[in-house]
Amino acid sequence: MAELDKRGAEQIDVPSGWTYASAPESREIVRIAERYGHFVGGEWLESAEAYETIAPRDEEPLAAVGQATDADVDRAVAAARTAYADGWSSLPGSERAKYLFRIARILQERSREFAVLESLNGGKPIKESRDVDLPLAAAHFFYYAGWADKLEYAFPNRRPRPVGVAGQIIPWNFPLLMLAWKVAPALACGNTVVLKPAETTPLTALVFCDVLRQAELPPGVVNIVTGDGRTGAALVEHEDVDKIAFTGSTEVGKAIQRRLAGTGKRLTLELGGKAANIVFDDAALDQAVEGIVNGIYFNQGHVCCAGSRLFVQESIYEPLVGKLKRRLETLRVGDPLDKNTDVGAINSAAQLAKIRELVASGEEEGAEIYQPPCVLPEKGYWFAPTVFTNVAQSYRIAQEEIFGPVLSVLTFRTPEEAVEKANNTPYGLSAGVWTEKGSRILWMAQRLRAGVVWANTYNRFDPGSPFGGYKESGFGREGGRHGLEPYLEFDE
Ligand code: NAI
Ligand code: MG
């Protein structure tokens, strides 16, 4: 048979290797302005101070973006207050829904443009921004449009009314999607918004202002101010903001909570994670390997619910880790705009430094590192997909959020031990369980101290499903009917 194969191959000139031709998505579809101000009261406000936002794949400067001062934030909050009082809060829910439906449809129409911009400014593979970020962002607007005129049914006998002006601060890992998670429920409930995108990824939020204009959303209902943590702090501290919604690091989340203590301002926090992805010996191993890869290498591991701690039942440790390493060799790391890319660029120099520091600590503490052979581009910020074995629970790489493409593998023998080890973390955002047994899934889900538990899958999101943390992963829920509650007051 082997002989036959060889002869056949000679005759038909079979290529010796199968490589992917480059398949870049054209960036022609995106028009980026040279300079952006702040979007306040439906107008562009010039920013006195500005900084350059870049493409992490090659450090190419993309645009000058404003650094909002206290005075800029003040103007944005005033615009939001005026829009709130001048009609938005008393508009019938069915009217608010029309705007949200429009925004959703426009996002769908312009999704290719937004996907390219998201990958360019943030570094994530176009495959992901095209197939995950954009469809989900639109889905959130569609979903909350549906609730806008049904709030009395969502909360029967509780007479819901809007909270007021919401200050929303979002991170850089899912820029447009986090915007949608924040803006859609706030507007559906009759609030107005001042949103601050993350400093490294402001562009999709700024182009989104054009969507708001197209949808003819009344001026001031959504205001966008850009800048770093100083702008975020000004928003948190502003006296006329009624509610803060924050997604980002646990450190900043705690500082915000301290700042707001005693002010009566409402607060929801969606913070870091160190999720356990737990594989039992009866699991379908090949599917589990796909779930592990999706769990930690999706979006370069810049995911708060990333499955960064893999717990493998001892009896299947060897075959599973073998399969995982082989699968890693097939991951394509490179240009975020290439449609074949699986792992894109690290979002920023600062994040790359953090990943490197934690990986070095893992090696020093005694873990064994594995990285598949891959050639990283010379310019830009890159880190190879990494697996650590021989990891003890006390190591920093098993305790701290790395927020990069780095997996720590640990083992367990019994379900009780899996639960105990999985819960041995200050975080509690998500977890994954891989097993054939339905009863074991339920047994595990009841014991894991995590807001989301995925069974035989990972990193699945749906606007109808609530998301949020236990312990230092924060409080409050986004998504689903639960996601309306932080944006409502009740006359009870
Ligand atoms: P960060 O928490 O500093 O940034 C998140 C957002 O908060 C950004 O918009 C930022 O401008 C704003 N911000 C920063 N300081 C603020 C302050 N004092 N008051 C109000 N807003 C403020 O996160 P950073 O520094 O970008 O990343 C550090 C680490 O945090 C990452 O390595 C990762 O471990 C974690 N992280 C977790 C995220 C999540 O989704 N849970 C998202 C981003 C980061
Ligand atoms: Mg920070």
| Residue range 103-112, pLDDT digits in tens | 999 999 999 9
Q: Which amino acid is at 333?
A: V
DSSP 3-state assignment of 219? coil
Q: Is the CB of 173 under 6 A from ligand 1?
A: yes
Q: Calculate Rg over the CA atoms of the chain.
A: 23
Q: Is the CB of 171 under 6 A from ligand 1?
A: yes
Q: Is the CB of 395 under 6 A from ligand 1?
A: no
- Residue whose CA lies nearest to ligand 1 atom number 28: 249
On the 0-12 / 13-18 / 19+ scale of CB atoms within 10 A, 158 is middle
Q: In this structure, what token pair is assigned to residue 270?
A: 């969606």
- What's the pLDDT tens digit per position in 222-275? 999 999 999 999 999 999 999 999 999 999 999 999 999 999 999 999 999 999
CA distance 379 to 381: 7
H or E stretch at 38 = strand 38-40
Distance 418 CA to ligand 1 centre (A): 30
Per the rule left: phi > 0, alpha: psi between -120 and 50, beta: everything else, 63 is beta
Distance 45 CA to ligand 2 centre (A): 26
Q: Mean pLDDT throughout 355-372?
A: 98
- Residue whose CA lies nearest to ligand 1 atom number 21: 232
Is residue 122 within 8 A of residue 56, CB to CB? The reply is: yes
DSSP 3-state assignment of 371? coil
Smallest CA-to-CA distance from 387 within 319, 314, 309 is with: 309
Q: Is the CB of 237 under 6 A from ligand 1?
A: no
Which residues are CB-neighbours of 159 under 8 A, at least 6 positions away?
152, 490, 491, 492
Q: Is the CB of 225 under 6 A from ligand 1?
A: no
DSSP state of 467: B
User: Which of 270, 401, 472, 485 is labelled catalytic?
Assistant: 270
Q: Is the CB of 199 under 6 A from ligand 1?
A: yes
Question: Residue 12: how many CB atoms within 10 A of its CB?
Answer: 6
User: Which of 118, 189, 209, 304 is labelled catalytic?
Assistant: 304
For residue 101, is pLDDT > 90?
Answer: yes
CA distance 211 to 213: 5
Given this model, what pLDDT does residue 9 score?
54
Given this model, what pLDDT does residue 1 score?
45
Is residue 477 within 8 A of residue 178, CB to CB? The reply is: no
Smallest CA-to-CA distance from 96 within 106, 85, 87, 108 is with: 87
Q: Which amino acid is at 314?
A: E
For residue 3, is pLDDT > 70?
Answer: no
- Residue whose CA lies nearest to ligand 1 atom number 29: 249
CA distance 374 to 333: 7
Which atom of ligand 1 is nearest the CA belonging to 253?
2
Which atom of ligand 1 is nearest the CA belonging to 402?
34
CA triple 50-223-113, angle to 5 deg: 75
Beta bridge partner(s), residue 222: 193
Q: In this structure, what token pair is assigned to residue 348?
A: 């920023």
Beta bridge partner(s), residue 42: none
DSSP 3-state assignment of 47? coil
Given this model, what pLDDT does residue 11 score?
67
Q: In this structure, what token pair is assigned to residue 121?
A: 């400014």
pTM: 0.96
Long-range contacts of 176-179 (CB under 8 A, 24+ apart): 176/114, 176/118, 176/133, 176/134, 176/137, 176/204, 176/205, 176/208, 177/132, 177/133, 177/136, 177/137, 177/140, 178/247, 179/137, 179/204, 179/205, 179/208
For residue 364, is pLDDT > 80?
Answer: yes
Q: Is the CB of 228 under 6 A from ligand 1?
A: yes
Band of residue 491 on the pLDDT scale cut at 50, 70, 90: confident
Active site residue 290: no
CA of 303, nearest ligand number: 1
CA distance 419 to 445: 9
Q: How many residues does the chain have?
A: 492
| Beta strands at 309-313 and 406-412: parallel, antiparallel or unpaired | parallel
Per the rule left: phi > 0, alpha: psi between -120 and 50, beta: everything else, 159 is left
Is residue 114 within 8 A of residue 107, CB to CB? The reply is: yes
- What's the pLDDT tens digit per position in 156-198? 999 999 999 999 999 999 999 999 999 999 999 999 999 999 9
Active site residue 304: yes
Distance 304 CA to ligand 2 centre (A): 14
Residue in 249, 254, 308 to alter for ligand 1 test, most ligand atoms within 8 A of Cβ: 249
Given this model, what pLDDT does residue 18 score?
74
DSSP state of 184: H
Is residue 235 within 8 A of residue 69, CB to CB? The reply is: no
Residue 403 has phi, psi (to 5 degrees) of: 60, 40
Q: Is the CB of 73 under 6 A from ligand 1?
A: no
Distance 228 CA to ligand 2 centre (A): 9
Q: Mean pLDDT throughout 427-431?
A: 97
Band of residue 139 on the pLDDT scale cut at 50, 70, 90: very high
476 CB-side CA count, 13 A: 22
CA distance 227 to 110: 25
Is residue 386 within 8 A of residue 369, CB to CB? The reply is: yes
Which residues are CB-neighbours of 293 under 8 A, at least 6 positions away?
324, 327, 328, 331
Query: Mean of the per-residue pLDDT values for the chain?
Result: 96
CA of 228, nearest ligand number: 1
CA distance 234 to 249: 17
Distance 168 CA to ligand 1 centre (A): 13
Residue in 174, 200, 252 to alter for ligand 1 test, most ligand atoms within 8 A of Cβ: 252
